[in-house]
Amino acid sequence: MMKIAYALMDGYQALIDANLEVVDERQVLGRELAQLGAEMTAVRWRDPEVDWARFDAVVPKNCWDYVERSAEFFGWLDRLRDLGVRLVNPLELIRWNSDKRYLLDLRRAGVSVAPLVYVERGAPADLRAELSSLGWGELVLKPAISAGAYRTLRARSLDAEGVAEQAETILRDSGLLVQPFFPEIPRDGEWSLLFFGGEFSHALLKVPSRGDFRSQPMFGATATAKDPPPALLAQAAAVLEALPGKAAYARVDGFVREGALQIMEVELIEPYLFLEHGGPLAARRFCEAVLAQAGGSAR
């Protein structure tokens, strides 16, 4: 029987209990893997007592705190590699996806990425000259290593109160991503398209709560299952071809501008899967993709 470790953050249960809009994916996927003949064990990734070598594969699906502990997180992933434990998704893909610099790689590969400026860690935070030529006006700043709107700030300009300090704080720990404010997201919503084993599974449209711009359920955004138009689905599927490796699971997030999907994120580490919007086979598709990348069907 294939043994799968489902890695969690400390405090995962409390977070689930506090967010009634989300499903405990640990339970849903555990049941599905059992039906496929595999054994899933939910373990804290920071637990020093875990014998990781006893698992055939590790899925770091709910390590949502890695953005605050990135050095520790990647040290743990390196130990798994040294133990010969397979990661799903692969370590190289996780490393690439952990820093939003990957958006620049996708843009160079021809993907329609939403406009951004990337500032390297430790670089001077004076962006006025570069941004003034772009004429963006209202801005959104976020760390290059982030998830769930972590340290994300919306500001009318770089001169607004607290913005320079926020940029400097971010640049002490990671790179900095600056983007214009995209009115399409609060107006029309942000798409999330889920792919398992390279095949489309389901999609949904996330609409921020009134007066907000963040599309995460924890901030009051609503998510509705929705079939994407064929052209939109084709654009999202093409993003997978630009990845530097094969992903067992991927969530492509973006908004539509003039008929084109503008990519905001490609989530390959710990995306919430919105299984509750994916129909009865969504969890099965995810688990089959994990087992295939973990080394074949359950034994």
- Predicted confidence (pLDDT) per residue in 178-189, tens digit: 899 899 999 999
Q: Are residues 24 and 75 in the same domain?
A: yes
Per-residue pLDDT, 113: 97
Mean pLDDT of all residues in the chain? 89
> Is residue 299 a part of any domain in this protein?
no
Do 173 and 203 lie in one domain? The reply is no
Count of domains for the chain: 3
Q: Does the pLDDT of residue 299 top 50, yes or no?
A: no
Q: What residue spans of the chain are helical by DSSP H?
A: 12-18, 25-35, 70-83, 91-98, 102-108, 128-134, 163-173, 184-188, 230-241, 282-294
- Judgement on whether residues 82 and 168 belong to the same structural domain of the protein: no
Domain co-membership, 217 together with 230? yes
Domain endpoint, select from 180, 196, 216? 180
Is the model's pLDDT at 298 over the cut of 70? Answer: no
CATH number at residue 196: 3.30.470.20
Higher pLDDT, 175 or 160: 175
Q: pTM of this prediction?
A: 0.91
Domain of 125 in residue numbering reads as 117-180
Do 129 and 247 lie in a common domain?
no
**Do 37 and 75 share a domain, yes or no?**
yes
Residue 192: inside a domain: yes
Decide if 289 is inside a domain: yes
pLDDT at 124: 62
Residues 263, 130 share a domain: no
CB environment 206-217: b (16+ within 10 A), e (fewer)? bbbeeebbbbbb
Task: Assess contact for 191 and 256: CB atoms under 8 A.
Answer: yes
Please indicate, yes or no, whether residues 58 and 169 belong to a single structural domain of this protein. no
We report the CATH number of the domain holding residue 54 as 3.40.50
Report if residue 169 sits inside a domain.
yes
65 backbone dihedrals φ, ψ, rounded to 5°: -90, 5
Which of 180, 203, 230 terminates a domain? The answer is 180
Say yes or no: 205 and 252 in one domain: yes
In a domain, 72, yes or no: yes
More confident residue, 15 or 264: 264
